[in-house]
A and B are shown apart, each in its own frame.
Chain A
Amino acid sequence: MAAPASFVWTRRIVLTLLTGFVLLPVYVMVSSSLKPLQDVSGKFQWIPSGLTVRPYFDIWKTVPLAKYFGNSLIVAGSATVASVIIAVFSAYAVSRYSFRGKRVFTVTVLSTQMFPGILFLLPLFLIYVNIGKSTGIELYGSRGGLILTYLTFSLPFSIWMLIGYFDSIPKDLDEAAKVDGCGPIGALFRVVVPAAVPGIVAVAVYAFMTAWGEVLFASVMTNDSTRTLAVGLQGYATQNDVYWNQVMAASLVVSVPVVAGFLLLQRYLVAGLTAGAVK
């Protein structure tokens, strides 16, 4: 059925306004990152007077951006891998077995999502410091501590989404695998995981983005050598002279990997949400 003109026109107007709203900062980010310093220090210009790629070279010198980038990659990457593996195991247990405490587990894990981060920031900081003192395992200020923290941030949502996803895979499939000689873990990795790839990809994307974008814990739990992009990027803006063109260039550089990855994989995320969250 062809949509009536009133709908088509409303759609055009609504979608145009929303596109403008969404893309405005993106335009500012891209265009300002190519402007010379005097342009971004004076009145804003829609059309740059001259283009330069200098900011893209300067950003690495003004702050140790490469180091922050590496730290973020290690922290977010490890947190993602660990979070996905742990979520797969948990979701498999909840989806395939009946056991005492199942409901308590899912409700508790989900409700940790609503804790205000500020409530456990300081206690966690103290716990990490005390663990370091008594066992010598450095968690405070180290990448390991941040990885440990971040992987739990995405865990509840990942488990929740994967339970839904695993439930939609017929149990007969893994029963058949067990009859053919697989153990429960064999059935998980040979049957359930391959069938749930879209859900697992979705969960991985979510976990990576959560870790890549976190600010609060990164600003308290890191030191000079473990600082991530979330804190490092503020290095340009807190100086007396703000190099806005470099700030924008750096913002763009740190955004490109996640945005590209997300846009490539967003189909999986929508599919994962449909199977997991909505039902």
Chain B
Amino acid sequence: MTSTVTADPRVGKSDSGGGRGTGGARRRLPRIPDRIRNGGLPYLLLLPAVLLELLVHLIPMIVGIVMSFRQLTQFFISNWGNAPWTGLDNYSIAVDFDAPIGEALLHSFFVTCVFTFFAVGLSWLFGVAAAIMLQESFKGRGVLRAIFLVPYALPVYAAVITWAFMFQRDNGLVNHVLHDQLGLTDQPSFWLIGDNSFYALLIVSVWKGWPFALLILMAGLQNIPRELYEAASIDGAGIWQQIRKITLPSLRPVNQVLVLVLFLWTFNDFNTPFVLFGRAAPKNADLISLHIYQSSFVTWNFGTGSAMSVLLLLFLLLVTAVYLLVTSRKKKGSGV
């Protein structure tokens, strides 16, 4: 039998043809394991994706890590391979919290943590509330669902520019309502500079982010079997009890993925502060992505910027790993 295999030149090549049209002798062959019979086809199918991910994500990331060990100022941009090797200098500059650069980075990190906590928390809360309220069918549900997804569909720059207009000191809606109509403030406030900018950024971010939570949670709700609710209502559980005892626990696996994704997106968000504030954000709303952009592109210090980016990536990896560990252990514990 072995000789038949080696004698047939088509074996191992004919897989792309689907193995049709071979003689009767072939049927007596032992079943070829999938891995060999498939040949290179799966790899061929993956090739474009792999090449592109390498070109746009993985190689640049490695280059970025290498750059973080070099003294990369504007003089070396066209010839970055010749930038002097500085070892960990960029990192020690980034984490020297007594010097201006390190201090600003630490401040920005702290702002981003607080901001992310509130932005993710509120987006999740609004998403859960709306998803539960939209679960039962009632008149106008389809229209509301479409309306709620508008912030998700609007291009970031168009939506955030509109918010920037609303937050204008002299001709914006926010001051008109708070100062002119409600009289809550003595004089029109600044929203895009100074301390209030944190709240302005938070409102815009939640407005833009919560519909994604709604979208994912609506999908998650569709997977809860109706029988659970029917059984519960036969047992006399009211709608609030059903939400507490069935809906929320059933959403736990969806929530775990959702919160992680929202966290990563919010922590890395560049677009919202960039369109709202321009190249330099006010101190209280200086999110880390924009801060790093500013440190590298505005002050032309790419080496330090790269070191900061690598530190950010390490932090995100650490948080993700801990989060995945904690949530998977919980799942095992409650599952039994």
B-contacting residues of A (Cβ < 8 Å)? 1, 3-4, 6-7, 10-11, 14-15, 18-19, 21-26, 28-29, 32, 40-44, 86-87, 89-90, 92-94, 97-100, 102, 105, 108-109, 112-124, 126-127, 129, 148-149, 151-152, 155-156, 159, 178, 181-184, 209, 212-216, 219-220, 229-230, 233-234, 237, 244, 247-248, 251-252, 254-255, 258-259, 262-263, 266, 269-270, 273-274, 277-279
Contact = CB atoms under 8 A, between A and B. Distances in A.
B328 interface: no
B171 interface: yes
B35 A99 contact: yes
Nearest to B270: A216
Nearest to B293: A118
B255 to A, nearest CB: 11
27 contacts: A7-B240, A14-B129, A18-B126, A18-B130, A28-B162, A28-B173, A32-B165, A93-B46, A98-B34, A108-B58, A112-B53, A116-B292, A117-B289, A119-B310, A121-B293, A126-B77, A148-B56, A155-B49, A184-B18, A215-B270, A215-B275, A251-B162, A255-B159, A269-B215, A273-B216, A274-B219, A279-B223
Q: B138, B150, B264 — which one has the most chain A CB atoms within 10 A of its CB?
A: B150
Instruction: Please classify the interface of chain A as helix (H, G, I), strand (E, B), loop, or mixed, using the class held by over half of its residues.
Output: helix
B219 A262 contact: no
Given A112-B57, A122-B302, A269-B215, A97 B150 contact: no
Contact of A11 (B133, B180, B316): B133
A70 to B, nearest CB: 16
Contacts of A220: 297
B6 interface: no
B320 interface: yes
Contacts of A29: 158, 162
Interface of B: 16-18, 20, 34-35, 38, 41-43, 45-46, 48-50, 52-53, 55-61, 63-64, 67, 77-78, 80, 126, 129-130, 133-134, 136, 138, 144-159, 161-166, 168, 170-173, 175-176, 180, 207, 211, 215-216, 218-220, 222-223, 233, 238-240, 254, 257, 264, 268, 270-271, 274-275, 289, 292-293, 296-297, 302, 305-306, 309-310, 312-313, 316-317, 320
A255 B154 contact: yes
- Which 9 pairs, one residue from A and one from B, show the smallest C-beta to C-beta distance? A120-B60, A251-B158, A123-B60, A262-B153, A123-B63, A93-B45, A119-B309, A44-B176, A273-B219
A44 B115 CA distance: 29
B251 to A, nearest CB: 10
Nearest to A216: B270
Contacts of A28: 162, 165-166, 173
Given A15-B144, A86-B52, A273-B216, A114 B264 contact: yes
A187 to B, nearest CB: 9
Nearest to A90: B49
